[in-house]
């Protein structure tokens, strides 16, 4: 049996039309497949790191710092805010922001997103939601949009992460947002322990 080179994937012709995929289509499929495998590796690596951290009983801020680091690898994050939910009042509490010196600006942006219903919409969708920056883009020209990331499990809402990023919504791919969602769920599960 002859061996097939790794960069050539023999596919049967489409039985209805007799169409073979082009080399460009095959290359794109290979690239997308590799991106998917890379994403799966990142999720597994992230899950293991979170498991190790939660086994050591680290405070939630350390678990959240891990998520923020991964988010920054996906999107160039300019500024970020973490809100945790108060167990008694069920209100979002401003936990931390990066950089800390911009607390007032970031607090204002988060409050305005809450008032406009963006936090509620993100929770209803239960996945990252890309929004226009309300006020940050005026003072921080690198901010193109805001990504709201829910920290939820089946049992509870644990918080919300607001990421002010350098990319607009049209520059973000659904797989990137799905990966971010998966990382956020893993973080929420670790927070639940």
For the record, the structure tokens of 7 come out as 């960069």
Confirm if 118 and 131 have CB atoms less than 8 A apart.
Answer: yes
Confidence of residue 149 (pLDDT cuts 50, 70, 90): very high
For the record, the structure tokens of 124 come out as 């209803």
User: 165 pLDDT exceeds 90?
Assistant: yes
Global pTM reads 0.73
pLDDT score at 27: 81
Confirm if 126 and 140 have CB atoms less than 8 A apart.
Answer: no
Confidence of residue 122 (pLDDT cuts 50, 70, 90): very high
- Give the residue among 190, 193, 182 at the shortest CA–CA distance from 63: 190
Confirm if 159 and 85 have CB atoms less than 8 A apart.
Answer: yes
For the record, the structure tokens of 72 come out as 């920054």
For the record, the structure tokens of 20 come out as 């073979």
Kindly list the structural domains of the chain, giving each domain's residue range(s) and its CATH number in brackets, ordered by start.
Answer: 23-192 (3.30.450.40)
Q: Report phi then psi at 10, rounded to 5.
A: -75, 125
R_g over Cα of the chain: 20
Work out the number of other CB atoms within 10 angstroms of the CB of residue 139: 10
Confirm if 185 and 152 have CB atoms less than 8 A apart.
Answer: yes
- Span 84-95, average pLDDT: 92
pLDDT score at 24: 83
Measure the CA–CA gap between 164 and 97, rounded to whole angstroms.
11
DSSP helix/strand/coil, 9: coil
Q: What is the pLDDT of residues 5-60, one digit of tens each?
A: 445 555 555 544 556 778 887 787 777 777 766 766 776 676 666 666 555 565 56
């Amino acid at each position: 049996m002859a061996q097939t080179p790794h960069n050539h994937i023999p596919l049967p012709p489409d039985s209805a039309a007799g169409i073979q995929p082009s080399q460009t289509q095959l290359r794109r499929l290979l690239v997308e497949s590799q991106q998917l495998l890379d994403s799966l590796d990142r999720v597994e690596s992230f899950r293991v790191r979170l498991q190790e951290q939660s086994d050591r009983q680290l405070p939630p801020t350390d678990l959240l710092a891990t998520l923020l680091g991964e988010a920054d690898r996906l999107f160039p994050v300019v500024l970020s805010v973490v809100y945790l939910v108060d167990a008694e009042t069920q209100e979002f509490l401003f936990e931390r922001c990066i950089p800390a010196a911009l607390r007032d600006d970031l607090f204002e942006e988060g409050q305005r997103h809450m008032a406009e219903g963006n936090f509620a919409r993100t929770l209803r969708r239960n996945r990252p939601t890309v929004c226009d920056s309300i006020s940050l883009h005026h003072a921080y020209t690198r901010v193109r949009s805001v990504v709201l990331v829910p920290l939820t499990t089946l049992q509870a809402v644990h918080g919300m992460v607001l990421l002010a990023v350098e990319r607009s919504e049209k520059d973000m791919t659904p797989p990137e947002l799905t990966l971010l969602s998966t990382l956020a769920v893993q973080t929420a599960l670790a927070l639940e322990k």
